[in-house]
Amino acid sequence: MILLSELGSLVLAEPMFGRLKKRYPHADIYMLLFDRNRQVLDLLSVVKPENILTIRDDCAMHMLIDLWHSLRRIRIIGIDTVIDCELFARCSALISGCSGALRRIGFHRHSQEGLYRGSFHTSRVLYNPYRHLSLQLISLVDAIESRETPRSKSDLQTGPFIPPTFLPDFGEVDRELAQLHYDYPQIVGKRLVLLYPSGGLLPIRAWPLESFVTVSKALLQDGCAVGVIGLPEDRSLAESLLRACENNTLCINLAGYTRSIRHLLCIFERSDLLITNDGGPGQVAAMTDIPTIVFFGPETPLLYGSWSRFAHVFYTPLPCSPCLTAYNHRTSPCDGDNQCLQRITPESVLSKARELLLNRFAQPASQRPDEHVA
């Protein structure tokens, strides 16, 4: 199976792995993905660690070296079926063609618009832009033995699916939270709201920073602690938010603080709310019970929304939204003017945040995350 690029898509792909194991319980499943996303795959526990092949994408040389070794191993193993889970990526189509597998399954544009992917796939599945990604990926499994045209006409599940659950090691959450409280003693006993203001690889997916600032100031006045999460390269963005909040000591910079996805999930276990742009944090949050507010606009929750029952989506369906699709290789005509996100008001988000916090705070004390801290 090839699913290179999207961290969040791995969580949404979990139902596909379930379908595959149900249909082929004795099959050996191998997975090829970018090395930076392996942590999520390890958390899902759907592929044996020794069957995971990774490619570094930090530079062209590393990518070519890892790709060569991965393809060599694939051909030595003798893979008989490749499922290319990328939408219209040419690289993954080429990899499947070089794998030596007799059956190569992937999405194809057929008579629709879309990027040409060559003739590397032997089973070409019609990409359906009106179905959730989880259902789309399941259709790839259903196409393995299908002889119909187009492939995969079997009845599909319509969801909702139950997201995978984060299973920490014994004492892991307590250890991580004890360290968090040691590093930031001012948040002890406070309700903790996490913010992810970065757009990641697609800045157009970001809700305006000034809107995050407005919500942060109000939550700080409510007596909450606010933590800004992100990658190390997001620290300057987080510092800008902290400065706008007048360096309130209850507003802390956690960008780059977490060592791994597991570490981040442990902090989710302590937190009372996550407010995030569309991206990886919103998807992996589904593995915990943290209430989550997710902003969509350039992409649609109908295709990429979390299956978590604790997730609340803000989405303004303007005539031009969504503008990022598999057909245009996520190239937006908005030139950064993402009105679909700018029109989501801080007041509406703050109202929903307070509602979710109130519901969270109304839980019995034995069910609150703070009770797990030694």
Q: Read out DSSP for 224-287?
A: -EEEEEE-GGGHHHHHHHHHHTTT-TTEEEEETT-SSHHHHHHHHHH-SEEEEESSHHHHHGGG
**Are residues 269 and 347 located together in one domain of the fold?**
yes
For residues 248-275, average pLDDT? 95
The overall average pLDDT reported for the chain is: 90
Q: Are residues 220 and 269 in the same domain?
A: yes
Residue 49 DSSP class: G
Which tokens in the block code for residue 370? 């703070």
Confidence of residue 110 (pLDDT cuts 50, 70, 90): confident
pLDDT tens by residue, 312-324: 999 998 999 998 8
How far, in whole angstroms, is CA 89 from its chain's centroid?
Answer: 18
Q: CA 224, CA 229: separation in Å to the nearest integer?
A: 16
The answer for residues whose C-beta is within 8 angstroms of residue 64's C-beta and 6 or more apart is none
Residues 331 and 198 in one domain: yes
Q: Do 189 and 286 belong to one domain?
A: yes
Q: Is residue 69 situated within a structural domain? A: yes
Are 115 and 208 members of one domain? Answer: no
pLDDT confidence of residue 196? 97
Q: Is residue 177 part of a domain?
A: yes
Q: Extract the tokens encoding 180.
A: 């968090």
Give 94-109 pLDDT, tens digit per residue.
999 999 999 999 998 7
Kindly state whether residues 356 and 219 are assigned to the same domain.
Answer: yes
Confidence at residue 150, expressed as pLDDT on a 0 to 100 scale: 64
**Contact 62/56 with Cβ under 8 angstroms?**
yes
Give the pLDDT of residue 372: 35
Residues of the chain with pLDDT > 90: what percent? 74
Bridge partners (DSSP) of residue 292 are 274, 311
Average pLDDT over residues 297-312: 93
Clarify whether residues 72 and 187 are in a common domain. Answer: no
- Cis-peptide into 232, omega within 30 deg: no
pLDDT of residue 200: 85
Give the 3-state secondary structure of 213-232. Answer: HHHHHHHHHCCCEEEEEECH
pLDDT at 149: 65
What are the Cα distances from residue 117, in Å, to 9, 97, 252?
21, 11, 46
Q: Are residues 178 and 100 in the same domain?
A: no
Residue 326 confidence class, pLDDT cut points 50, 70, 90: confident
CATH of the domain at 361: 3.40.50.2000
User: Which pTM value belongs to this model?
Assistant: 0.89
Assign 57 to helix, strand or coil: coil
> Taking 90 as the threshold, does the pLDDT of residue 111 lie above it?
no
pLDDT at 329: 74
CA atoms 11, 15, 18, 19: torsion sign: negative
**What is the model's pLDDT at position 366?**
42
Whether residues 235 and 362 fall in one domain: yes
CA 311 to chain centroid: 13
Q: Are residues 190 and 280 in the same domain?
A: yes
Same domain, yes or no, for 96 and 208? Answer: no
Predicted pLDDT at 327: 78
pLDDT digits 0-9 by tens, 162-194: 999 999 999 999 999 999 999 999 999 999 999
* pLDDT at 365 exceeding the cut of 70: no
- Domain for residue 153, yes or no? no
Per-residue pLDDT averaged across 33-50, rounded? 93
Cβ atoms 275, 215 nearer than 8 A:
yes
Residue 325: predicted pLDDT:
83
Q: Which domain holds residue 60?
A: 7-142
Q: Are residues 104 and 229 in the same domain?
A: no
Average pLDDT over residues 4-32: 91
